Amino acid sequence: MNEKTKNYSDLIDEIPYDSNIETDIPVLGEPTVDSPLLEKHYPHFVSDCDRVLVNVSCRSERKLNKAGLEPMSFELAGPRRSIFFDPAKVKPAIVTCGGLCPGINDVIRAIVLTFYHSYGVHSTIGIKYGFRGLVPSYSLPVMELTPEKVGRIHEYGGTILGSSRGPQSLEKIVDALQRLDISMLFLIGGDGTFRAGAKIADEIERRALKISVVAVPKTIDNDIYLVSKTFGFDTAVDMACQAIRCAHTEAIGAPNCIGLVKVMGRHSGFIAAAAANALREVNFCLIPESDFDLEGRGGLLKVLEKRLKKRGHAVVIVAEGAGQKYVAGKNMEKDPSGNIKLGDIGLFLRDSFSNYFSEIGMTVFVRYIDPSYIVRSVPANIEDSLYCANLGQDAVHAAMAGKTAMMVSRWNDRYVHVPIASVIRQSKRVNLDSRFWLSVLESTGQSSLKNT
């Protein structure tokens, strides 16, 4: 993979200097228990005073100085010398929610092994099929997770706990946590899961319970706010690149052939953009953030026609959320998570290409590839696997220290703690004024695809 797709700074947008982002992490109480890692002479403890700047550019520093503001910073993740929970009495639980993503099993494995090796906790509870597993009416048994049971799960895609979408009763979820005597709940999910996690943490606080809620960001779309890059993204880009290579091979194998690849990305086009940037074989990259016209002198069809007449082939990659103005249903149906169901832009473009060139009397061949479910279901690659291991480990250290209502994140090349309340403020999008998107335009050579 091109090194550009592995550079975290290429995938983040600078946070405005005057943002009201919260950075303080809620805690359940004073940490008064000596960490078991002290007995092992562990050399790398951190404290709450260790911070990571949110913005590190000189431009940001100048803006802060002019405004008379202190630079924002996140709490550094890692093991603490003093912890809140007694390891002999804790009972952790893990739940995975939403769609599948490469690396979920790696995170589960890392959490279980860190509890076992670092804190002497021999068993973790796995909640089956998302939040449904905490609602009695579904009658789903919990799964005991031990080092033996998770030993090889990182070799497989998906999640051994299963997953589900859709809201569940907040009161019943917290009732179940009390009934099971859970000390800490690890949420592996995306934006919807985090919104539910924030409500769960609020209800736990309202009941004055000592249950930690720690989130691990999961989405191949890379659209979670205040995360440099989500786990599964690198694997998704790898798989997208394989599809693009196949599309390019098909495109150059026949006269006037178009290789069309659709990848995931409901509202954010990071996968499509990063894959286009990595391979440099894509001629048109269509993402939700950048509107395009289909017809007209500057529209996609006319520009594609010029490309075929000049080079004899073309490769188009489109994110699933791009061009929804052409395919969105009138009824605005929603899925169980409350997301509006997308129209199929891939099939629409395939048919539009065929119809347009047929009408102008030009023979073309369209080769359409949709690897979406393959992309999200494969095991994590090595880089994502390592990333997941670090996230899982730091999630455990945070929970043992009594941190709650927070997410473990990677930011400015460090692992940090971010309040869930800040994470759910908004979603991350490709910045069309960023160097990252400019690099895509320089690679593809595409115009604005607008009739202006």
Question: Around Cβ 210, how many Cβ atoms within 10 Å?
Answer: 13
Q: What is the 3-state secondary structure (H, E, C) of 248-301?
A: HHHHCCCCCEEEEEEECCCCCCHHHHHHHHHHCCCCEEECCCCCCCCCCCCCHH
Question: Around Cβ 428, how many Cβ atoms within 10 Å?
Answer: 23
**Which residue in 123, 51, 61 sits closest to 87, CA to CA?**
123
Q: Output the DSSP codes for 2-36.
A: -GGGG-GGGG-PPPPTT-----PPPBSS---EEPG
State the catalytic residue, choosing from 10, 106, 191, 221.
Answer: 221
The SS3 assignment for 133 reads helix
**Which residue in 272, 365, 271 sits closest to 317, CA to CA?**
272
Q: Which residues contact 192 (CB under 8 A, 6 or more apart)?
A: 97, 98, 165, 337, 338
**Active site (annotated) includes residue 221:** yes
- Which residues in 230-255 are b (16+ Cβ under 10 Å) and which e? bbbbbbbbbbbbbbbeebbebbeeee
Catalytic residue ranges: 221
